[in-house]
Amino acid sequence: LGALGFLSTGDENSPGNYGIFDQAMALTWVYENIRAFKGDPEQITVFGPGAGAASAGLLALAPRTRHMVSKVIAQSGSPLADWALIVDKYRAQNTSRVFAEKLGCSIESSYKLVQCLTWGRSDIDLGNSDIQPQVGMFPWAPVLDHNFTVLRDTFDDNWRASDWHFFTEAPEDSVKEEKYRRDFAYMAGVTTQEGASVL
């Protein structure tokens, strides 16, 4: 999903995690409507390869979605992989600045950075621009947002500052403290020559 899914300035100008919010919204729709298709909302399995496997695991551990995920099938990825979640907000901010500079945007403030990317660039420009991360394997990923600065509740009439906090703790902590469904099942595997070297 790249910058369109995970660009983060670590504050209210671009908190990030848009990609995971979209996945959570789709999961919520399934959870609320699956009975209409003769399904059971208590038996939802989320499957994904690579980054999708990490996302599936993150959805099973995140406070706002873990009650909806009964099983995960993870192929060549894990929510515990060091590339699955950016824990350091300053790393996320720096990646966003490097990306913005590459596209000719000011990095004087996060507000100006986001305004330039929003109004001055097409979604094709944003989606096709690639950068090499200065830290880690991948430049874009969900971000641990418990220490983000989102000051105001007036962002949108139906959206509070606290609504931006999707990951309030690291996945490792959630696993150690068994913060997942009691009946949760997890199956993992690898795809030969695809992601085994980074698992």
> How many helices (DSSP H) and strands (DSSP E) are in the chain?
7, 3
* Contact indicator for 161, 150 with CB cutoff of 8 Å: yes
pLDDT by residue (tens digit) across 143-197? 998 766 666 655 556 666 667 778 888 999 999 999 888 999 999 998 776 655 6
Q: Can you give the pLDDT at residue 15?
A: 87
Q: What is the CATH number of the domain that holds 87?
A: 3.40.50.1820
Q: For residue 171, what are its two tokens? A: 């996945």
- Ramachandran area for residue 185 (φ above 0: left; ψ -120 to 50: alpha; else beta): beta
Q: For residue 98, what are its two tokens? A: 């490097």
pLDDT by residue (tens digit) across 46-84? 999 999 999 999 999 999 999 999 999 999 899 999 999
Number of domains present in the structure of the chain = 1
Q: Report the chain's mean pLDDT, rounded to a whole number.
A: 87
Q: Can you give the pLDDT at residue 23?
A: 97
According to DSSP, residue 188 is labeled E
Q: Can you give the pLDDT at residue 150?
A: 63
The residue range of the domain holding 39 is: 2-198
Q: Can you give the pLDDT at residue 160?
A: 66
pLDDT by residue (tens digit) across 10-27? 888 888 899 999 999 999
pLDDT by residue (tens digit) across 98-129? 999 988 899 999 999 999 988 877 777 777 77
Query: What percentage of the chain's residues is helix, strand, coil (to nearest 5)?
Result: 40, 10, 50
* Contact indicator for 7, 91 with CB cutoff of 8 Å: no
Res. 44: pLDDT tops 90:
yes
